[in-house]
Amino acid sequence: MSVATERVLPPKSPLLPPAVPPSDPGNVPSADVSPAKLPHPPGPANVNRWAGLTWRHAVEFWLSPLQYATKLAHRYGDLTSFLLFAQRAYLVNHPELIHEYLVRRRDDYVRAPWEMRVVRQLVGNGILTSEGELWTRQRRLIQQAFRGSMLPRYVQVTVAGTQERLERWESGKVVDLVEAMATLMMDLSIRTTTGINPEVIGGPTPEDLSEAVIEGAHQMSREMAIPITPPAWLPLPSRRRKREAIAAIDAYVRTAIQIRRADPNAYHDLLAVLLRAVDEEGDGKGMSDQQARDEAATILIASAHSTSSTLGWFWKLVLAKPELYERLVEEVDQVLGDREPNLEDVPKLTYVTQALKETLRLFPAAYVLFARMPIRDTSLGGYRICRGGWMITMPWVTHRDPRFFADPLTFDPDRFSAEREGDIPKGAYFPFGHGPRICIGQQLAMAQLPLVVAKVLQQWRLEPQAGFDDLATHRELAIRPATPCKVRVTRRDAPLSRKPR
């Protein structure tokens, strides 16, 4: 089993309640209590508590982070502390504590410097990596590209691009839906972000860009797993591939920027909107070419990986339950009939959306949030948090907590029905992150995903093949299926018996 592949077993016992409930007002220390006087959160014993020689914790956390984090949460409760070598790490599991440190006390933390150093090499100083006023300004500008008035255009591109890909399938042939969805969503990410082809002559093609984004994200996810990585200039194969990926992304995006600068109103993709955006609440200026390049690279990488992994898991989970699959087909037939879907259909595809939300619960797009580092001694939940520690939050763990989700390992889309969704505790479900840095593209993702699913179900019958329901995970920027989801596809040429509503 490779480092990035993990089979996560069900827990042997339910999660233990925290020693002091986070909702207890007495759990939060008063302002005059020094954090140094508070105890460390509970956690596993160290090999040598004074020297911090905790190789076993580091190795287990590196090899099996999903299993290890789940085990710690089940044993020690909502806030766990453990040593990784000489560095103290904290695993935050409860929604109230997560909100406390990511929102109410966010000024006590910065994003982990080693992770940001790795990310900046690929996406520059974009919204993922910037801090303070620069981040606030960039988010205001980027929001203009994701406002509701832009969604119909992106949806049009999504439907057209999906149709083109589906037309390449052959009736009676076997298709790996994990690979097919990865290719499709990368294609859609390029189309919505930088257009189909910015008339590049003698430069990278969209296919080259796709390969560069995949390779760049792969290298980035590997390097973020450890605080120390080899310098980019070393003559190693991995360093060479990384340099080539960055060069291809730079060449493609910068050429696209030049073309849009030359004719600002000719394009309507995300990049064009970014270049036209003006910070009316701030300095009244727009983005520089470098800022636009960094934001475009960020969107390309983040959107393609998160949405493709979600669809890969979706098909594995849905096809394992034939009655659920048929219910989805029935809904798509009732809503669409044989016409093309559009943005107005998304709210009508209620069960499709429920199934996607449940997929994101079990396999969240952001299975672990970027680590934070306290810049001063502080406290959380009545415990001491040391300056320079590593704060880790994993939606994967919280989403599988039986206190928040009944029968948490069961795929049950009805838990997101109108009647039951209100039973989910506030903050217990956060597949796109939490707080001010929540994913800015989640509205677009939750419009694209149901429409892609609807197009597939509208046109093709899917017959699962052996091994399709293997749920082994592969960790990259997102949790991806480690095995294929092979299905035999048959075109649905017969007239639909249900009328669209």
- Name the binding residues: 439
Q: What CA–CA distances, in Å, run from 22 to 135, 382, 383? A: 30, 9, 11
110: β partners: 373
Question: How is the chain split among helix, strand and coil, in percent rounded to 5?
Answer: 50, 10, 40
Q: Residue 454 has which token pair? A: 């609807």
Provide the H-helix boundaries in 130-205: 132-143, 151-166, 177-194
Give every CB contact of residue 127 below 8 A, 6+ residues apart in sequence: 135, 138, 139, 142, 295, 298, 440
State the burial class of residue 469 (Cβ atoms within 10 Å of its Cβ: 0-12, 13-18, 19+): middle
Helix boundaries (H) for 225-349: 237-262, 270-276, 289-319, 322-336
DSSP bridge pairs for 111 = 372
Residue positions forming the annotated binding site for heme: 439
Phi, psi of 136 (to 5 degrees): -60, -45
Q: Could you give the 3-state DSSP secondary structure of residue 194?
A: helix
Query: What gap in Å lies between CA 461 and CA 309, rounded to an integer?
Result: 21
The C-alpha atoms of residue 273 and residue 267 are separated, in whole angstroms, by 8
Q: Which amino acid is at 424?
A: I
Distance CA 171, CA 386 (A): 60
Q: Which helix (H) or strand (E) holds 359?
A: helix 350-362
- Own/partner contacts of 35-39, CB < 8 Å, gap of 24 or more, are 35/377, 35/378, 35/379, 35/384, 35/385, 35/386, 36/377, 36/384, 37/384, 38/379, 38/382, 38/383, 38/384, 39/383, 39/384
